[in-house]
């Protein structure tokens, strides 16, 4: 064995957790430096020290609010997927996007079905108010709900973000080029019920959705 083989561990030391945290934080390109150091400190607590408590969760929520939209999505992906934080930290971050279809769709396109696992491992009281939990529990066995999809041609790929219009109101029309889908959703597949600013939002295990119908938009 030559010298290079004997000393390979020294020549190419294994990357530490702290090295990886620093490398990931470079992607955020944060200003000011104080915010960068704050995020680094909390990520180390999550990744290396495996912490998860209410104070850390609130600190991560505060950091989330200071980030650009792109970095907000990146932080959720990092904290709930790549380096899965505990349910309290993941819960407060997922709660921030419950009414934001754009961010949920972006995460779904990136991680696919894994986003359902994120929601399933968070305690309901970290995602819903007491009133929302009561409403979710009182839903009928099968819920009529709506979903917007933008796949071209005949493809129909469902995602986790659905709405349930209030009584007497029609669902919002799809954007140009999109399709509005109506389906029968089993109550057991409704992972989260969110009151929303304009209409209730459901986070749905779309793999269990049945009786799908295109009611408006492309292909109708």
pLDDT truncated to tens, each residue of the chain (220 aa)? 454 445 555 555 556 878 889 999 999 999 899 999 999 999 999 998 999 999 999 999 999 999 999 999 999 999 999 999 999 999 999 999 999 999 999 999 999 999 999 999 999 999 999 999 999 999 999 999 999 998 766 678 899 999 998 888 888 888 888 899 999 999 999 999 999 888 999 999 999 998 899 999 876 6
Whole-number pLDDT of residue 3: 46
Residues 6+ apart with CB under 8 A from 90: 79, 80, 84, 118, 121, 122
Closest CA to 83 of 13, 25, 159: 25
Whole-number pLDDT of residue 64: 97
Whole-number pLDDT of residue 197: 82
Q: What percent of the chain has a predicted confidence (pLDDT) above 90? A: 74
């Amino acid at each position: 064995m030559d010298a290079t083989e004997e000393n390979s561990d020294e020549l190419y030391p294994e990357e530490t957790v702290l090295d990886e945290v620093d490398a990931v934080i470079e992607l955020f390109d944060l200003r000011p430096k104080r915010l960068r150091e704050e995020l680094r400190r909390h990520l180390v607590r999550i990744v290396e020290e495996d912490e998860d408590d209410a104070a850390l969760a609130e600190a991560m929520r505060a950091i989330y609010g200071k980030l650009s939209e792109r970095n907000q999505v990146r932080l959720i992906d990092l904290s709930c997927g790549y380096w899965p934080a505990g349910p309290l930290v993941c819960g407060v971050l997922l709660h921030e996007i419950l009414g934001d279809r754009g961010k949920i769709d972006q995460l779904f396109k990136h991680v696919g079905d894994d986003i359902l696992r994120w929601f399933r491992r968070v305690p309901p009281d970290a995602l819903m108010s007491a009133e929302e939990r009561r409403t979710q529990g009182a839903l009928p066995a099968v819920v009529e709900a709506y979903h917007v999809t933008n796949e071209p041609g005949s493809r129909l790929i469902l995602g986790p973000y659905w709405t349930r219009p209030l009584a007497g109101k029609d669902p919002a029309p799809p954007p140009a080029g999109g399709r509005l889908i109506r389906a029968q959703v089993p109550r057991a597949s409704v992972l989260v019920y969110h009151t929303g600013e304009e209409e209730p939002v459901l986070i749905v295990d779309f793999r269990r959705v049945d009786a799908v119908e295109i009611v408006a938009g492309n292909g109708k």
